[in-house]
């Protein structure tokens, strides 16, 4: 029998690949097994029509830790990011619009002042609130997770108990009401609290989702700025795979793990659906917890209570579908200023989220198990800033549509 690997990783998504790189850097012999024909998972770029390439699922970059980008020297393999500017364009049904510029408070405030001078002034307090929360939470991101009680203690130690209340207990609508008066401004801020989330603006706890949009630093270390990866999200996993291979990681694609081998209470390898057995001293899973613990791991190998909790307490239903399009030309929004060309409007994310009430109604449909009749839509197009993704003069565009019930 061949020597077992030190670690076998089920799945070649970005998390599996990052784990593979760090294990290999630590001198371990690592094998990654990916069922799809390419690594990448939800972070891939694919051709959807001849000459039109798109980030199929994940599309916008901020949360990848700069430490990882640097330590794995991803730039040497072609990893390159740039900020979206404007960050957001919000068209409203009455013909008005609002641009937001992450990282440029003064410019965003000038936009907000079109709707409310008071809200423009409040925008500083809003941004300061997120900065304080990020200052406390960001240092925990590269550590083993701390408990909720410990996190609450850190807010208390920093004299920020009221920020903790806002972040964890309020709904997005209530939080926005503590800062802003204009319904337009509130609607412009709300989407980043809701995206991908099982909740509407009136759902307590949703502000924490906004925090995830304020804390990232992947765009040249600038906190809260979102951008694109040149070549689409596939570049993230392509460069990670290249770094992994250079570190000695073996990557096999088009191979599906059917079972984790467990002997005397420890994982000792995997069996592929082809019947091949591969031995390893440790098995890491990049697949979701339900698949990992309920489908791939033999039932008797885990405590019954643990399995029950994964089955019942761990929810992985989906709320969105994504529509990827190849276009002759970019859309023209009736609410866009006439002197700003569509190529500039579409550089940022366009949110169809005209009021908090609209968003809540979209969520209400989902709660009844129905697709939203008037969905929240986040529209984005990378081709205006990355011409490698579409033929000259043409474009790719995606719509991230929410709320649509999906149970895997
Ligand atoms: C539509 C959509 C849009 C998103 N947009 C963004 C965004 O803009 N920005 C952002 O930061 N995040 C975004 N996300 C979230 C982000 O994509 C995910 O959090 C991230 O991709 C998860 O990475 P992962 O490596 O943990 O898992 P995955 O990417 O899911 O990778 C898991 C891998 O395991 C493989 N696998 C599973 N089972 C087996 C098996 N039995 N054998 C072999 N291989 C197996 C799968 O094929 C897959 O390649 C989005 C997610 C979705 C769905």
Nearest CA to ligand 1 atom 36: 11
pLDDT of residue 303: 95
- Give CA–CA dist 130/173, Å, rounded: 16
Nearest CA to ligand 1 atom 27: 13
Last residue of a domain, which of 312, 338, 372? 312
Rounded to the nearest angstrom, the distance between the alpha carbon of 159 and the centre of ligand 1 is: 37
Residues 202, 116, single domain; the answer is: yes
The full DSSP string for 253-270 is -S--EEEEEEETTEEEEE
Structure confidence by residue, pLDDT tens digits, 153-163: 999 999 999 99
How high is the mean pLDDT of the chain? 97
Query: First vs last Cα of the chain: how many Å apart?
Result: 37
Structure confidence by residue, pLDDT tens digits, 105-155: 999 999 999 999 999 999 999 999 999 999 999 999 999 999 999 999 999
Q: What are the distances in angstroms from CA 384 to CA 15, 42, 53, 392?
A: 29, 23, 13, 10
Which of 286, 228, 195, 239 is CA-nearest to residue 55? 228
Band the pLDDT of 329: cuts 50, 70, 90.
very high
pLDDT of residue 310: 97
Residues 245, 198, single domain; the answer is: no
Nearest CA to ligand 1 atom 34: 11
- Decide if 12 contacts 234 (C-beta within 8 A): no
Rounded to the nearest angstrom, the distance between the alpha carbon of 362 and the centre of ligand 1 is: 25
- The three-state DSSP-derived secondary structure of 2-26 is CCCECEEEECCEHHHHHHHHHHHHC
Give Cβ neighbours of residue 309 (< 8 Å, ≥ 6 apart): none
Rounded to the nearest angstrom, the distance between the alpha carbon of 41 and the centre of ligand 1 is: 4
- Decide if 54 contacts 394 (C-beta within 8 A): no
Structure confidence by residue, pLDDT tens digits, 226-250: 999 999 999 999 999 999 999 999 9
pLDDT of residue 167: 97
Residues 277, 354, single domain; the answer is: no
For residues 323-348, give the mean pLDDT: 96
pLDDT of residue 75: 98
Residues 213, 346, single domain; the answer is: yes
Domains in the chain: how many in total? 2
pLDDT at residue 51 greater than cutoff 80: yes
Rg (alpha carbons) of the chain, rounded to whole number: 23
Rounded to the nearest angstrom, the distance between the alpha carbon of 23 and the centre of ligand 1 is: 20
Rounded to the nearest angstrom, the distance between the alpha carbon of 180 and the centre of ligand 1 is: 35
Query: What is the interface pTM, i.e. ipTM, of the complex?
Result: 0.99
In a domain, 2, yes or no: no
Residues 203, 329, single domain; the answer is: yes
Give the structural domain span for 284: 7-81+231-312
For residues 300-325, give the mean pLDDT: 95
For residues 32-48, give the mean pLDDT: 98
Cα of 136 vs its chain's centroid, Å: 21
Residues 272, 292, single domain; the answer is: yes
Rounded to the nearest angstrom, the distance between the alpha carbon of 52 and the centre of ligand 1 is: 22
Band the pLDDT of 3: cuts 50, 70, 90.
confident
pLDDT at residue 1 greater than cutoff 70: no
Residues 203, 248, single domain; the answer is: no
Residue in 34, 42, 46 to alter for ligand 1 test, most ligand atoms within 8 A of Cβ: 42
Which atom of ligand 1 is found nearest the CA of 41?
A: 49
Band the pLDDT of 336: cuts 50, 70, 90.
very high
Residues 66, 117, single domain; the answer is: no
Write out residues with Cβ below 6 Å of ligand 1.
Answer: 10-16, 33-36, 41-43, 57-60, 63, 256-257, 286-287, 291, 320, 322
pLDDT above 90 covers a percentage of the chain that reads 98
Structure confidence by residue, pLDDT tens digits, 26-36: 999 999 999 99
Which atom of ligand 1 is found nearest the CA of 295?
A: 41
| CATH number reported for the structural domain that contains residue 255 in this entry | 3.50.50.60
């Amino acid at each position: 029998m061949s020597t077992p690997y030190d670690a076998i990783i089920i799945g070649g998504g970005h998390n599996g690949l990052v784990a593979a790189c760090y294990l290999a850097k630590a001198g371990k012999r690592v094998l990654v097994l990916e069922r799809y024909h390419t690594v990448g998972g939800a972070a891939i770029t694919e051709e959807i029509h001849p000459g039109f390439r798109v980030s199929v699922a994940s599309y916008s970059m901020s949360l990848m830790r700069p430490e990882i980008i640097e330590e794995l020297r991803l730039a040497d393999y072609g990893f390159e990011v740039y900020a979206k500017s404007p960050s957001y364009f919000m068209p409203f049904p009455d013909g008005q619009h609002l641009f937001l510029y992450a990282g440029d408070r003064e410019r965003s405030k000038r936009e907000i002042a079109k709707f409310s001078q008071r809200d423009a002034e409040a925008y500083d307090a809003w941004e300061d609130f997120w900065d304080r929360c990020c200052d406390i939470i960001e240092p925990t991101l590269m550590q083993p997770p701390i408990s909720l009680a410990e996190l609450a203690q850190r807010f208390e130690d920093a004299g920020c108990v009221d920020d903790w209340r806002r972040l964890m207990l309020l709904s997005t609508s209530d939080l926005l009401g503590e800062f802003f008066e204009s319904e337009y401004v509130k609607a412009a801020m709300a989407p980043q609290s809701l995206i991908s989330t099982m909740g509407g603006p009136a759902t307590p706890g949703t502000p924490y989702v906004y925090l995830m949009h304020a804390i990232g630093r992947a765009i040249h270390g600038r906190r809260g700025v979102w951008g694109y990866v040149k070549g689409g999200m596939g570049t993230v996993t392509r460069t990670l795979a290249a770094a992994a291979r250079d570190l000695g990681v073996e990557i096999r694609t088009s191979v599906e793990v059917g079972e984790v081998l467990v002997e005397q209470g420890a994982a000792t390898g995997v069996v592929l659906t082809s019947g091949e057995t591969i031995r390893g001293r440790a098995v890491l899973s990049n697949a979701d917890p339900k698949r990992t613990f309920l489908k791939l791991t033999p039932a008797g190998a885990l405590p019954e209570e643990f399995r029950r909790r994964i089955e019942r307490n761990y929810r992985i239903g989906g709320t969105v579908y994504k529509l990827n399009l190849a276009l002759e030309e970019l859309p023209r929004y009736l609410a866009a200023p006439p002197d700003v060309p569509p190529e500039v409007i579409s550089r940022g994310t366009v949110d169809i989220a005209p009021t908090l009430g609209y968003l809540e109604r979209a969520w209400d449909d989902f709660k009844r198990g129905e697709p939203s009749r008037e969905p929240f839509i986040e529209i984005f197009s990378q081709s205006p800033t990355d011409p490698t993704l579409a033929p000259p003069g043409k474009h790719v565009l995606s719509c991230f549509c929410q709320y649509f019930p999906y149970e895997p």
